[in-house]
């Protein structure tokens, strides 16, 4: 399943990184503490968060994540959008809250990184 498949499936709004939606998603991680995502996120994961500041792009790029989905209808800061375009990091917005979004992603076959 690619990032684009997820966008279509969930009706996500694309805010950045339109040119990089073809990447295959390896799994998912949900979290709002950046060092936690740095520690446990995996390359190619789709990241669900409610953080909207530019450091989410730094983290996603460092960990080579497939993209970021902002839950609960949150919108990225303008600085975040600029950085995301520079790094070609997809930022998508979902109106679903984190719990629902992750549950539905899981149902679609996007699994987590297991136990710590």
Partner 1 sequence: MAGAENNISFHEMFHIQGGNFTNAGLISSQVKKILKGAGFSGGVIRRASIATFEAEMNVICYANQGTISLFITPNFLKVVVDDEGNGIPDINLAMKEGYSTANEEIHELGFGAGMGLSNIKKNADQMILTSKLGQGTHLEFIISLERKDKLVPLCSSRE
Which region holds residue 14: left if phi is over 0, alpha if psi is between -120 and 50, else beta? beta
For 102, the 3-state DSSP assignment is helix
Closest CB 65 distance from partner 1, rounded Å: 12
Closest CB 33 distance from partner 1, rounded Å: 4
Residue 19 has what DSSP assignment? Answer: G
Number of residues engaging partner 1 in binding (CB under 8 A)? 18
Closest CB 104 distance from partner 1, rounded Å: 23
Number of other residues whose CB lies within 10 A of the CB of residue 107: 8
Lay out the site mask for partner 1 across 37-76 (x = CB under 8 A, - = otherwise).
Answer: -xx---------x-x-xxxx-xx--xxx------------
């Amino acid at each position: 399943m690619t990032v684009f498949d997820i966008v279509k499936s969930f009706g996500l709004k694309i805010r950045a990184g339109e040119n990089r939606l073809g990447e295959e998603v390896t799994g998912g991680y949900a979290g709002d503490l950046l060092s936690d995502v740095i520690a446990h996120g995996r390359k190619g994961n789709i990241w669900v968060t409610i953080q909207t500041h530019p450091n989410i792009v730094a983290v996603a790029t460092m960990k080579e994540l497939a993209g970021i989905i902002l839950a609960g209808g949150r919108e990225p800061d303008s600085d975040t959008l600029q950085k995301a375009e520079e790094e070609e990091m997809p930022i998508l917005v979902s109106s679903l809250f984190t719990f629902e979004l992750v549950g539905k992603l899981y149902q679609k076959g996007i699994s987590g990184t297991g136990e710590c």
